[in-house]
Amino acid sequence: MRKRYLCAATAAVLTLSLGLLPARAADPITVITNDFESATTQGWTPRGSDLVEVSTAAAHGGSHSLLSTGRAASWEGPVLDLLTTVEAGTRYTFSAWVRMVSGSAQLRMSVERRWQGTPSYDQVAGNTDVTGSGWVQLTGSYTLANDADFLSVYVESAGATGDFYLDDFTLSYVPPTPIQDDIPSLKEVFADDFPIGAAIGRAEILGEHGRLLAKHFNSVTPGNSLKWDATEPSEGSFSFTDADALVDFAKHNNQAIRGHTLVWHQQTPAWVFNDAGGQPMTPTADNKALLLSRLDSHIRAVAGRYSGDISAWDVVNEVIDENQADGLRRSRWFEIAGLDYIRTAFRVAREVAPSAKLFINDYNTNVPSKRDKLFQLVSQLRSDGVPIDGVGHQMHGNVDWPSASETDAMLQKFVPLGVEQQITEMDISIYTNSGESFPTPPADRLARQAERYRALFDVYRQHRAHITSVTLWGLADDNTWLDTFPVTRKDAPLLFDTQLQAKSAYWAIAGTPSPTPTQSGGCRVAYTVNTWTSAPGQGGFTASLTVTNRGQDPIDGWTLRFAFGAGQTVTQGWSANWTQSGANVAATNMSWNAVIPPDQSVQIGFNGTWAGSNPNPDAFWVNNMRC
C-alpha cells in the first residue's frame, strides 16, 4: 500500500498544473446543425429585402454554404427562427462560420427577442473582422431569460453591406451541472462581517443559477435592470418588468437589494439630454431646469416604486474625474446642471425612499488621486447638507491589482467622514492588460486570482466596522461583463466557474482560519486547510500557507519543505514552484516573492487530494530552518 503511494507520488515530481475539476461538465448536446449540404436553406430566410440562397461557390465544410446578397442595410442578412427550439434558462452556445464574397467587413451575430410587440437585441458574437480570403468563426452564448413570442438569430454587419457566406451553423448546450450543496454558504461564512451580494440579471434567478444565488448571497444588485435605459427608455414611459422579477426573487429569498443606479453618464437614453425642441441641450438656464425636472420625476418613479424594498441606492455613479482640477466628470449631467444634478438626485432619493441608505459609487477609488477627489466632493456635499450616507467602492480589479495596502488606505481614508462604505462591484479579471486573451483560464492566473481575493477580503474583514456590504459584479463566470469589456475575450473574474462550481477564489475566501501555527526561531508557517469529500473516504482539499519571516534580516530566496502524513498528493500549487517526491513536498519562491522582509509574510497555497484522512503536516522548514 505504502509502495503504491510512493510510486504514484514519484511520478508526480514536476511543477504541478493540473486543474481542479470539482464536477465534470457533461458533453454538449447539439440541437441544430446547418451545413446546407441538402441544397436547401434549412430554415434560414432574409431579414429584410435582401436575398438568402444556397451556394456552391464556397463552403467551409462539404461543398455548400448559405449566400447572403442584395443587403440594403447593415442589419439585413440571414435569420433563423428559434422560438420553438430554445428553452428559457438554458445557456446555448452559437457558432457559425462566415466569409465575405470579396473585400472586408465586420460581421456579428445577434438574437432578436420580442414580447408583445417590443423587440430587444442581444449580441451573441461581437463585431469580428471578416474578409474574402478565409472563413472566420462567430461564436458566443445566450440564455433566454424573459418572456418571448418571437426569437431569432441573425448575422449582420457593422456599417458595410457586402455579400457574405455562412456555413456550419450549430446551436448547442451543456446540461447544467448541479451546484455544490455541501460547501459552506458564503453568507454564513461572512455572517459576522457583512452581507455578501452578487449583481444579477434574469438569467441568475432561474434553475441552478437561482439555487446558487440563494445559497450563498444575502444581497443582490440588479446589474442593468434599474438603470435609466431599462426603466425609462422614453420620457414618462416606465418599464419595470425585469426589475420587479429580480426584486421579487430577492424578497422571497430574504436578500437585501442594492439599487443601481439613478444617475450615470452611461446607459442613459439620448432623450434625457435633448431640449424641448428635441435638439441636444446646450447649457442654458431653461435646459438645466428641464433636465433637473426629468431627474426629479425619474427618481420619484424608480426609487419611489421600491421604497421599503431597496435598502441602498447608488444614487450617482462615476461622477469623479481625477484629471479635472475640481475632480468632477464633464458628463452631460455636469455640463448642463453643474453640481446641482448630484444635489437634486440625493435630495429626491431621500424624500421618496427615506429608509434607503444613499451612496455615491465609483471605480478606481483605491487610486490615491481619484480617492482624494472623491473624498473632497463627499466632504463638501455632506457639509452642505446633501444626504449622502455612504461611499461605494466598485473594486473592479485584476490578478495583480489593487494591492491590499492601497485598498486598506482607501477604506481608511473615508473613516474620519463617518460614512458607511460598501464594496459594490468587485471582480478580479484574469487579465492584466487588454492585449491578453486565453481560451480557458490558465491555472496560474486562477491561483493568483485566489490570492488576490484572499488578500482583499482580509482587508475588508479588518474594516468590517466600516463596511456594510460586499458585492461581486456577477454570480458565476458564465455571465460576466468582462467578456466584452474592455475587449471581447473570455474572462473568469468571479468565485464560481462557468459550470457554477466553486473556484480556488471561492475557497480562498470561504476558508475557515485554522489553529495556531507552530513557531520558533526565525520563521513561522500558518497552514489552513479546507477539506471536502468526493466519495466515501476520499476527496480534495485546498491548503493555504502563510510563511512569515520572524528573524532580524530579510530572507532572500526560500524553499519551504514539509511532509504529508497520510499519502496526500498536491495536484496544483500557486505562488511558488511546487514539487512532490513521495511524502515530501517542497515549495520554492517565484521571482516576485523571493524576498521576505523581517515581520512580513508571503502567502502560497495548493490544491490536493486525500484518501483515508487528511492530517496537517506536523513540521515546516524554511531554508532548512525548522519553523
Cell numbers that stand for 428 in this block: 478580479
Between 346 and 363, whose beta carbon lies closer to ligand XIL?
363
The CB-nearest residue to ligand XIL is: 481
User: What span, in angstroms and rounded, lies between the C-alpha atoms of 154 and 152?
Assistant: 7
User: What span, in angstroms and rounded, lies between the C-alpha atoms of 333 and 338?
Assistant: 7
In sequence order, which residues have a C-beta less than 8 Å from that of residue 130 and are 6 or more positions away? 98, 99, 100, 104, 105, 106, 107, 136, 164
Annotated active-site residue in 242, 389, 425, 477: 425
Say if CB 374 and CB 316 are below 8 A apart. Answer: no
Decide if 425 is catalytic.
yes
Between 47 and 393, whose beta carbon lies closer to ligand XIL?
393
In sequence order, which residues have a C-beta less than 8 Å from that of residue 288 and are 6 or more positions away? 336, 337, 338, 340
Say if CB 216 and CB 196 are below 8 A apart. Answer: yes
User: What span, in angstroms and rounded, lies between the C-alpha atoms of 587 and 460?
Assistant: 29
Between 479 and 504, whose beta carbon lies closer to ligand XIL?
479
User: What span, in angstroms and rounded, lies between the C-alpha atoms of 623 and 627?
Assistant: 10
Q: Which of 151, 30, 155 lies closest to 84, judged by CA?
A: 151
Between 152 and 364, whose beta carbon lies closer to ligand XIL?
364
Q: Using DSSP, state whether 72 is helix, strand or coil.
A: coil
In sequence order, which residues have a C-beta less than 8 Å from that of residue 342 and are 6 or more positions away? 263, 316, 319, 360, 381, 386
Closest approach of Cβ 386 to ligand XIL, in Å? 20
Between 259 and 608, whose beta carbon lies closer to ligand XIL?
259
Closest approach of Cβ 266 to ligand XIL, in Å? 7
Closest approach of Cβ 471 to ligand XIL, in Å? 11
Closest approach of Cβ 481 to ligand XIL, in Å? 3
Q: Which of 169, 146, 175, 43 lies closest to 94, judged by CA?
A: 169
Closest approach of Cβ 310 to ligand XIL, in Å? 16
Residues within the interface to ligand XIL (CB under 6 A): 223-224, 317, 394, 425, 481
User: What span, in angstroms and rounded, lies between the C-alpha atoms of 573 and 14?
Assistant: 11
Beta strands 555-556 and 136-143 are unpaired
Between 425 and 491, whose beta carbon lies closer to ligand XIL?
425
Closest approach of Cβ 227 to ligand XIL, in Å? 7
Q: Which of 237, 250, 236, 266 lies closest to 201, judged by CA?
A: 250
Closest approach of Cβ 306 to ligand XIL, in Å? 17
Between 438 and 485, whose beta carbon lies closer to ligand XIL?
485
Closest approach of Cβ 199 to ligand XIL, in Å? 6
Residue type, 198: A
Beta strands 104-115 and 118-131 are antiparallel
Say if CB 295 and CB 301 are below 8 A apart. Answer: no
Q: Which of 536, 531, 543 lies closest to 605, judged by CA?
A: 543
Decide if 335 is catalytic.
no
User: What span, in angstroms and rounded, lies between the C-alpha atoms of 314 and 312?
Assistant: 7
Alpha-carbon dihedral sign for residues 307, 312, 318, 320: positive
Residue type, 117: G
Residue with cell 489552513: 528
Annotated active-site residue in 318, 408, 478, 483: 318
Residue type, 603: Q
Decide if 362 is catalytic.
yes
Closest approach of Cβ 394 to ligand XIL, in Å? 6
Between 425 and 478, whose beta carbon lies closer to ligand XIL?
425
Annotated active-site residue in 362, 427, 451, 497: 362
Between 170 and 394, whose beta carbon lies closer to ligand XIL?
394
Q: How far, in whole angstroms, is CA 256 from its chain's centroid?
A: 20
N-terminal to C-terminal alpha carbon distance within the chain: 31
Residues labelled as active-site residues: 318, 362, 425
